[in-house]
Amino acid sequence: MKLTGAEIIIECLKEQGVNVVFGYPGGAALNIYDALYKHQNEIKHYLTSHEQHASHAADGYSRASGKVGVVFTTSGPGATNIVTGIATAYMDSVPVVAITGQVPTNLLGKDSFQEVDITGITMPITKHNFIVKDVNTLADTIRRAFEIAQSGRPGPVLVDVCKDVTAQYAEYERKEPKKIKKKVLATQEEIEKAIELINSSQRPFICSGGGVISSEASEELIEFVEKINAPVATTLMGVGGFPSTHPNYTGLVGMHGTRASNYAVSHCDLLIAVGARFSDRVISKVDRFAPNAKIIHIDIDPAEIDKNVSTDIALVGDVKQILKILIENVQKKTSTEWIEMIYEWKRNYPLSYPQDGKLHPQYVVERISALTNNDAIITTEVGQNQIWAAQFYKYQRPRQFISSGGLGTMGYGFGAAIGAKIARPDKVVIDIAGDGSFRMNCGELATAVHYNIPVIVALLNNGVLGMVRQWQDLFYGKRFSQTTLDRPPDFVKLAEAYGALGIRVTSPDEVDSAILKALEAGRPTVIDFVIDKDEKALPIVPPGAPIDEIID
């Protein structure tokens, strides 16, 4: 049958099982939105207050569900406004398909109204991108975009569609989506060498990253850990991939890692990185990272091998499949000497904060965890709030912690929370936020209220740009340049102005009742937890120092 390009886009989304999109319309996307109007009972569109947060919502939807998130925008500023969201998804390997309107083909390259070269702009931050100038190639391009977004190491793909293409007709025939194949590229020889290293090690240590979550390998990781009786730390992106209540869990590793994690890296004789990319926030001083260890790196992306840390054995391929092979072939370890040393470090150096009767953010996160039975989906903004959320909530499963790890995007968490709640309406969703980040995205209260999306913003309000101030305090001689936010708004009144519930908390004895009130409200809520401006996210490794030189 013959359909317009806009209708072909909608039909291709339906082929891929898409029933939710986020976006913001405009002139170059009018035909797409007109076609969407005719299919509004099949595909629900969520209109955000800003395109950037539409892209964050698509990202959060993807992370919470494991599906591809989809965002629509128009050309020019509509497209450039999602660049930050695309970069966020790219850095954290999140499958998102962005479909942008573009000026008609006869106006390309003429500095036309709302024309930008969005494929050129996003080339470094997408797995691939396309500009469609021929309606006959449109359907296969959309299908290819979804395939690329999900295959191998996931990531964002952008499809830019000229406006005249969306109005032209072409033959359309429905096709079933291609199945994404999970591959193991590592050779038998490499696998055998890895098994030999694991069997001979006396002090193995596992660093678990976001690849464990994206490959759905959490159960295999637990089985592998228990077979070789190894301690496990996670990167920020790996939080939730291994249960934080498991006795072998040591917490975060790296700049904000626990002493148990960082000491374990420094004393292990074998480091196994599983779906982790050895970012600078994990390794810090490269020549002092895991100095006594052989290193096995398991990752889907061959480009990550030996990029930041030299490895002894690389096992390239799907983490889930590789872990299954290792589980079947490695020997069970029964010695307890190494794990007992880990337990002693955990006992001697627990995460802590002052017990002085004041309202501390760590206590707030602990109470959120307890009152949600450790079962909520937690999104974060970026900074101290992000670290406290990763440290003090007890995560039980993958896709429970959603945060901008690689790009560190302030303003990410609220849009992501909206997307996550739409993906998982059965779960409580809480954005643990800082006041600096919330100023950037608070307009999305209108979105949450309009669609009655009952997300909770737990605002850790210290009146400063907390993490930047912390660095100024520790490393810049207390020169607090432009980090004090001594200005409006009153966040409770702001929430109420949007039609949300606003609650203010200033003391520890108000915390539980405020959280319970928010959980029972069934509508968007902002809890303004007023904390001290000099709270610190600790431990911290000074920049450039070895990871076992820790300030806490």
Candidates 38, 42, 113, 171; catalytic one: 113
Assess contact for 196 and 270: CB atoms under 8 A: no
d(CA 127, CA 544): 31
Task: Give the other-Cβ count within 10 Å of 467's Cβ.
Answer: 22
For the question of residue 2 being annotated catalytic, the response is: no
The β-bridge partners of 251 are 233
d(CA 241, CA 401): 9
Please report, as a single letter, which amino acid is at residue 436. Answer: G
For the question of residue 51 being annotated catalytic, the response is: yes
Say which residues have a Cβ less than 8 Å from residue 215's Cβ, sequence separation at least 6.
182, 275, 300, 318, 319, 320
Candidates 11, 51, 115, 444; catalytic one: 51
Candidates 91, 130, 150, 163; catalytic one: 163
d(CA 212, CA 466): 30
For the question of residue 278 being annotated catalytic, the response is: no
Nearest to 88 by CA among 46, 49, 122: 122
Angle between helices 51-65 and 83-91 (to 10 degrees): 30
258: left (phi over 0), alpha (psi -120 to 50) or beta: beta
d(CA 550, CA 495): 39
H-helix or E-strand spanning residue 208: strand 204-208
CA distances from 471 to 22, 73, 100, 480, 536 (A): 36, 37, 39, 9, 10
Q: Residue by residue, what is the 3-state secondary structure of 320-354?
A: HHHHHHHHHHCCCCCCCHHHHHHHHHHHHCCCCCC
Q: Residue by residue, what is the 3-state secondary structure of 251-287?
A: EECCCCCCHHHHHHHHHCCEEEEECCCCCHHHHCCHH
Candidates 15, 67, 114, 341; catalytic one: 114
Say which residues have a Cβ less than 8 Å from residue 13's Cβ, sequence separation at least 6.
21, 43, 70, 142
For the question of residue 114 being annotated catalytic, the response is: yes
Candidates 444, 467, 491, 535; catalytic one: 467
For the question of residue 337 being annotated catalytic, the response is: no
d(CA 326, CA 46): 44
Strand 69-73 versus strand 20-23 pairing type:
parallel
d(CA 494, CA 459): 13
DSSP state, residue 168: S
Coil, helix or strand at residue 312: coil
d(CA 156, CA 119): 12
**What is the residue whose two structure tokens read 């999140």?**
94
d(CA 123, CA 131): 12
Q: State the catalytic residues.
A: 51, 113-114, 163, 467
